[in-house]
Amino acid sequence: MADNPSDYYGYLLRLWRSGPNHPWCASLEDVETGVSVRFGSLSEAYEYMLTRTLVSSEAPGSGKPPQASEDV
């Protein structure tokens, strides 16, 4: 995981299953680095994304609306 959380993550999401009665699997490929992480279930992929965004939300200044700019 990155040391400096970001306000933007770009992933290529892939979903597949071995057959109609098998669970869905997923992979997320970081579009900047090309690093791919595989998951045995959709809930694992969701948990990964949730963890990434929670870390970003806890960064200083997060949760505050952006300041409006005034053109003078």
Phi and psi at residue 60, to the nearest 5°: -55, 135
Of 24-28, 37-41, 51-55, 66-70, the least confident = 66-70
Cα separation values, 16 from 24, 29, 53, Å: 6, 14, 24
Distance linking the first and last C-alpha atoms of the chain: 42
- Cα separation, 28 vs 34, in Å, equals 10
pLDDT tens for 34-62 read: 999 999 999 999 999 999 988 756 655 54
